Amino acid sequence: MTGSIEDPVRIAVVGAGGIGQRHLEAMSGVDACQSVAVVDPSDAGAAIADKWSVPHFTDIERMLDDVRPQGVINATPNALHLPLTLPCIERGIPVLVEKPVADNLEAACELADASEAAGVPVLVGHHRRHNPIVAKAHEMVQSGILGQLKAISANWLALKPDDYFDIAWRREPGGGPALINLIHDIDSLRFIAGDIVAVQGMTSNAQRGYVVEDTAAILLRFANGALATVMLSDTVAAPWSWELTSGEITSRVYPQTGQDCYFFAGTEASLAVPSLRLWRHEGAQSWESPLPEESFAVENVDPIHLQARHFADVIRGEVEPLITARDAARTLEATLAIVQAANTSSEVELSG
């Protein structure tokens, strides 16, 4: 039986940092998964392996040959996603690679090509797709309950403390909120509303003066014709970001504000997320008609646990990955295009 305790899939974790540890914790609570190895060159990696009573390796290829896991979670820094996933694909081992799928679009496409050519599934760790709130919003928008989707408003507005930037790479290009935070929202918007075909953007670093952006105003055009505005800043005292609004178990370290951060407006109805409040006119379709509110509820389940269960099913060949390397490459492309559009003061069309 799928997910039964009698037949857990054997999964190795590569990278024993915070994200890798989160995966190990999640798998410990999922009967369908069994941790069988940790790969990390550091002494800390050895300590993490000891904590979970699994073998420690410093070399992924030796681990793959000695342990022969059924699946691998690649939770290493972005630049290592491609080189440490390819040996798994070559051995026919499915991989869950953390987001972003790679550190640049060329590497992302190479990884997707390798996965598709070998027929070995790669699931990418955009874990919010597994959140029941996002899944319900996807279902509602795709069902047509909103009519024709026309306009989207999204916000990621919050205040990072000064000591957040004591780590040097966070002050450099690639370390700002566009690639660290916004990429989650771009993936959620793509999942809910469909593919993005063109972007425009404007950025500022006026608050802190670092090379990296701290604020951005963004325009998105979707394949279905919908337009979106996105406001992004990590310099403001504001309650409108996924972490502060969703109540997601992985975000409980943050104070919850009870607000919404996404709004989807259609010709028949509009939807606020994460509250899942829906508004549609009674009677005549007119702004003069009453617009009562409906609320939809979903269970608050840790999406990292749901992702682990899904990966187990992917490994068994029972389902396709919810987000493949190719799909995740499109999310990365859209996010990188926003930075490009801001730097060139132009509209950037995506490859599709």
**What pLDDT digit, counting tens, does each position of 198-249 carry?**
999 999 999 999 999 999 999 999 999 999 999 999 999 999 999 999 998 8
* Residue at 164: amino acid letter: Y
Q: What is the pTM of this model?
A: 0.94
**Interval 133-154: pLDDT, tens:** 999 999 999 999 999 999 999 9
Fold (CATH) for 9-120: Rossmann fold (3.40.50)
Three-state SS for 127?
Answer: helix
Superfamily name with CATH number, domain 129-300+332-349: Dihydrodipicolinate Reductase; domain 2 (3.30.360.10)
Predicted pLDDT of residue 2: 43
Q: How far apart are CA 181 and CA 144, in angstroms?
A: 29
Q: Where in the chain is the domain with CATH 3.40.50.720?
A: 9-120
Between the alpha carbon of residue 192 and those of residues 82, 187, 226, 263, 276, the distances in Å are 27, 9, 12, 11, 13
Is residue 312 within 8 A of residue 32, CB to CB? The reply is yes
What count of other Cβ atoms lies within 10 Å of the Cβ of residue 314?
22
Tokens of 307: 């992702």
Q: Where in the chain is the domain with CATH 3.30.360.10?
A: 129-300+332-349
Q: How far apart are CA 211 and CA 228, in angstroms?
A: 27
Q: How do 196-204 and 215-222 pair as beta strands?
A: antiparallel
**Interval 303-344: pLDDT, tens:** 999 999 999 999 999 999 999 999 999 999 999 999 999 999
Mean pLDDT of 96-107: 96
Three-state SS for 233?
Answer: strand
pLDDT band at 194 (very low <50, low <70, confident <90, very high): very high
Predicted pLDDT of residue 3: 42
Secondary structure E strands in the chain: 9-14, 33-39, 56-57, 71-74, 95-98, 122-125, 149-157, 196-204, 215-222, 227-233, 262-266, 270-273, 277-279, 293-295, 348-349
Three-state SS for 172?
Answer: coil
Is residue 322 within 8 A of residue 130, CB to CB? The reply is yes
Q: How many helices (H) and strands (E) does the chain have?
A: 11, 15
Predicted pLDDT of residue 173: 84
Across-strand partners of 122?
A: 95
Predicted pLDDT of residue 249: 80
Mean pLDDT of 180-203: 96
Q: How far apart are CA 147 and CA 224, in angstroms?
A: 12
Give Cβ neighbours of residue 352 (< 8 Å, ≥ 6 apart). 195, 197, 223
Tokens of 88: 């798994």
Give Cβ neighbours of residue 13 (< 8 Å, ≥ 6 apart). 20, 23, 24, 35, 37, 38, 39, 72, 73, 75
